[in-house]
Structure 1
Amino acid sequence: MLGTGEAGPGRTGHGGVRTSVIVGMAFGGIMLSACTSTVGGTGVVAPGEVAIYRSEVSASAAAEVRTEGVELCRESMSSMVVMVRGYNTFIERLNTTHSYPEVGDLADKARASLIAGADQIRPKITESAPVDVATPARTFLDSTARLENAIRREQRTELNPVSGQWTRDKARLLEVCGEYTPVPAASSATPRSSVNTTPVPTSPGR
């Protein structure tokens, strides 16, 4: 017969139970402590870090816009040289002959140079291109289209104001591009004088 407080085989006494409980509580305490420990750092970004990030993003965006402005100006200046060369050759001949038929194919070549130059500049006028360059570039393309049309229609007297406006719009674009990239020598992109309008026998409208 078992006495009070004695444990039989396969059973634990009160002392054994208390020991198991204490061990279990201690182990549980360790696990709870491990689960509740915090990780260093914070999920909130410091105001200074936000300002730095925004500054870097703004600087990057500004650099990208300027790069597009540089590309637009470089293409514009390069194309202008070809456009002006073709136009000058044509206008010199027209001022000498006072006749479109006697100009030969120089009128067509001048028109071709104007069209080709405009086609090179146009793709560079992107939505993100700087406005101070894109706006005068569009204006210059409009003037180029009018000049090409005037030559196509074999105009003479009417060619002068169109040519003059084209020259002014070109100069304005070059002026703006001076802030983005060096402007080429004046002689390489400067149109010659307009048509000599000394009265000579010519067909109406020329």
Structure 2
Amino acid sequence: MLGTGEARPGRSGHRGVRASMTVGMALGGIMLSACTSTVGGTGVAAPGEVAIYRSEVSASAAAQVRTEGVELCRESMSSMVVMVRGYNTFIKRLNTTHSYPEVGDLADKARASLIAGADQIRPKITDTSPPEIATPARTFLDTTARLENAIRKEQRTELNPVSGQWTRDKARLLEVCGQYTPVPAASSATPRSSVTTTPAPTSPGR
């Protein structure tokens, strides 16, 4: 026999169980949907942000290139003063004596100033240096090497064309550098005239 407090199995009992299961599933669905909700937003930058970023990168790169150009020009102009001073002292003495042996050590000092100046300029020429400065700077260094070689070989007549080209290449580099930094006074970086040669004697009556 069943006690008076016990429930009899029947339709009403099964309906209660089904109702409880339905409520549980509904609550579980709500919780699941809450857990799987996504955060709004996107990983793609807006067009305006991309344009600003590119502009900033471009401006930064341009500033870096200009900085390297200024450094190359400053080093070139500073080195030129030393190079020209050594060369002018040598050539003035050579034009007076017309003899390398009588020039003494001024030829060696002129060569040393040319080599030292070139060694100071060369490291400033990099892959990112402005081409409008790097190209004439390399040309100037090439001519400097030729001038130093002519002095080392104690050339006189051959020294004139090399010296003239060196002067022109130097002037070209200074001209370009004028767009990046003030150019020093002309007298401080201008070589003197080329070596003079003794004229050949003429026959009497000519």
TM-score by length of 2: 0.88
- Measure how far apart 1:173 and its partner are: 0.2
Give the alignment of 1:95-134 within 5 angstroms: 95-134=95-134
Counterpart CA distance in 1 for 2:105 and 2:199 is 23
Counterpart CA distance in 2 for 1:125 and 1:200 is 45
Deviations 1:151-179 (A, max 9, x none): 01111111111100000000000000011
Matched position secondary structure for 2:36:
helix
Q: Structure 2, unaligned stretches of length 5 or more?
A: 202-206
Name the amino acid aligned to 2:22: V
Q: Structure 1, unaligned stretches of length 5 or more?
A: 202-206
Whether 1:3 and 2:8 are equivalent positions in the alignment is yes
Whether 1:189 and 2:194 are equivalent positions in the alignment is no
Q: Identity across aligned pairs (percent)?
A: 78
Counterpart CA distance in 1 for 2:178 and 2:106 is 31
Counterpart CA distance in 2 for 1:107 and 1:42 is 72
- Measure how far apart 1:61 and its partner are: 1.1
Counterpart CA distance in 1 for 2:150 and 2:200 is 19
Aligned to 1:57: 57
Counterpart CA distance in 2 for 1:114 and 1:133 is 20
Give the alignment of 1:11-30 within 5 angstroms: 14-30=15-31
Deviations 1:75-102 (A, max 9, x none): 1011101000000000111111111100
Counterpart CA distance in 2 for 1:200 and 1:185 is 38
Aligned to 1:73: 73
Name the amino acid aligned to 2:49: E
Counterpart CA distance in 2 for 1:79 and 1:62 is 26
More deviation, 192-201/114-123: 192-201
Contact 1:69 1:180 in 2 (8 A): yes
Aligned to 1:85: 85
Contact 1:5 1:14 in 2 (8 A): no
- Measure how far apart 1:56 and its partner are: 1.2
Counterpart CA distance in 1 for 2:129 and 2:8 is 99
Counterpart CA distance in 2 for 1:200 and 1:191 is 26
- State the aligned residue count: 196
RMSD: 2.0
Name the amino acid aligned to 2:10: G
